[in-house]
Amino acid sequence: MILDGIGASSGVAIGKVFIKQQNDFVLPTHKVTDTEAEIKRFNDAKEEATLELKVLYEKALEEVGEEHAQIFDVHQMLIADLDLHDQVVGIITDEKYNAAYAVSEASAIIAAMFESMDDPYLQERAADIRDISKRLIGILTGEKEVSLADINEPVILIAKDLFPSDTIQMNKQYVLGFITEDGGKMSHSAILARTMQIPAVVGVKNILTKLDKNSTIIIDGKSGKIYINPTDEELVYWKAKQEEDRNYKQKLQSLKGTANKTVDGIEIEINANIGSPEDIEGVLANDAKGIGLFRSEFLYMDGHALPTEEAQYEAYKKVIEAMEDRVIIRTLDVGGDKELHYLNIPKEENPFLGYRAIRVCLDQVDMFKVQLRALLRASVYGKLGIMFPMIATVEEIKEAKALLEETKRELLAEGIAVSEDIEVGMMIETPAAALISDVLAQEVDFFSIGTNDLTQYTLAVDRMNAKIAHLYNTHNLAVLRLIKMVVDNAHAAGIWVGICGEAAADTTLTETFLGMGIDELSVSAPSVLEVRKTIQQIDTSKIQLKL
């Protein structure tokens, strides 16, 4: 039998099954009379959970490095989050429910908020909320799950879902790979699996009912295919693929230090996408020299209030100083699918067409100028590019640039140094921007194409809607023609153009992008070497585009 899931971490695993049983735990739900005592129990549980997470942080630091250990710092922040605290205390105080039930209800509300967002990365943060909820409830009830560290023989782990705390406790010596019913490619467990180089397949519906402990399976973490009780012929084939995969990964490491140059000598920039300064370690480990997209909104989403100018300045400075080449920082891209509760952005009928990104910033100018000040102050520490998101009109880019110039004049008047060599660019995410890219190109130093939103808006397909997911396709001729139009208009105006969406790492599109004349590809750090390998095998003089 062959099943299909979502390939979340490449590689082949062959072995017998270990099924992570779900607890038959019934959440205690009852009324309390002493609400102060129940709130104290909740606060004590938070303290104990924080101590547990510190232990997990140290373990992760040793096994997967600081970049990925940070998730357990984030979990500590989530446990201390005022929203969670206030909601739990409110349920205990107002509704007189016990702490475990209050934690369950409050975390469900917050998790649902993340799941409603459009960004896959933010959607998967719902799993983090559930993880800390499970930990707190386990402490409050004394019903803790068995640790996966107890696995002591080679197996492929099968579970309803895995939380980061589960994944980091897995013994890499024995867990050959894992499969989950839930989860996505951007879940922290999937990200950790890729870092730990454990093959993983996620999103396999009803997998727990289709396997037993006597099953032998093969998983292909790239295609998402699962082979249950394979034949001798299948075993021989996949063992050979397993060896081939090991050799391929070793060869990729040999590409460190080599050029991103095609057979006919065309050099392409390959840069990395990051969400915080902590991601830099992984960027450098994968031999990227620059940052093509720093998603600055994550600095805003990690706290309970707007980040100060000083906090932003330190974050931007750290990244700019660490990188040899240019760092492109996208200004705040929030609203719509990315909620900041402290901004009180009203709910909208269609948030993806609503009050978001540059529209928020041009409306809330004081907030925007704090970010611009921090960016400009940090610019003196290296090569900075400032990129404005979600531009759809010429008026928007002109207004954003005017605010940037105004902020620069104010800083210089205060005696604060600002670099004279800052590139100013914008994202092409809407068909409107693509269609007037000849005019927009006169206003900026570069374009960066956000293929995720450009595909979604061009095809009128919600990429998170499973019913129409098959229609979401960056290979679609309409999307590719718009990208080609943007490249041609950019080059005619003498500016460079890159791609920073998911498609930048799609090696089946690399040749097409190079044929169009794309100057830069910005990808997740683990994709850098594979994209480099693909580029080194292409002869652009032989590319024949059919658009």
Count the Cβ atoms, other than its own, within 10 Å of residue 42. Answer: 21
The CA distance from 339 to 341, in Å, is 6
Pair 318, 376: CB distance under 8 Å: no
> Reduced to 3 states, what is the DSSP secondary structure of residue 43?
helix
Interacting residues of 446 by C-beta distance below 8 A, sequence separation 6+: 385, 387, 423, 425, 490, 495, 496, 497, 498
Q: Which of 68, 75, 361, 500 is catalytic?
A: 500
Q: Which of 68, 75, 188, 361 is catalytic?
A: 188
Binding-site residue set for phosphoenolpyruvate: 295, 330, 452-453, 463
The CA distance from 424 to 255, in Å, is 32
Binding-site residue set: 295, 330, 429, 452-453, 463
Q: Is the pTM for the entire model greater than 0.85?
A: no
The CA distance from 96 to 518, in Å, is 60
- Annotated catalytic residue 500: yes
* pLDDT recorded at residue 186: 60
The CA distance from 497 to 520, in Å, is 7
What are the two backbone dihedrals, phi and then psi, of residue 155, each rounded to the nearest 5 degrees?
-150, 165
Which amino acid is located at 518 in the chain? I
* pLDDT recorded at residue 12: 92
Domains annotated for the chain, with CATH where assigned, are 2-21+146-232 (3.50.30.10), 35-141 (1.10.274.10), 269-424+497-541 (3.20.20.60)
Q: What is the mean pLDDT of each run of 10 residues along the chain (547 residues)?
A: 86 89 75 93 92 81 65 81 88 93 91 74 75 89 72 87 72 85 71 76 86 87 91 92 87 93 96 87 91 88 80 95 96 69 66 79 94 98 96 96 97 97 96 97 97 90 64 90 98 97 88 97 90 96 91
Count the Cβ atoms, other than its own, within 10 Å of residue 157. Answer: 25
* pLDDT recorded at residue 440: 98
- Annotated catalytic residue 361: no
Q: Parallel, antiparallel, or unpaired: how do β-strands 423-428 and 446-449 relate?
A: parallel
Pair 508, 230: CB distance under 8 Å: no
* pLDDT recorded at residue 41: 94
* pLDDT recorded at residue 405: 97
The CA distance from 79 to 48, in Å, is 11
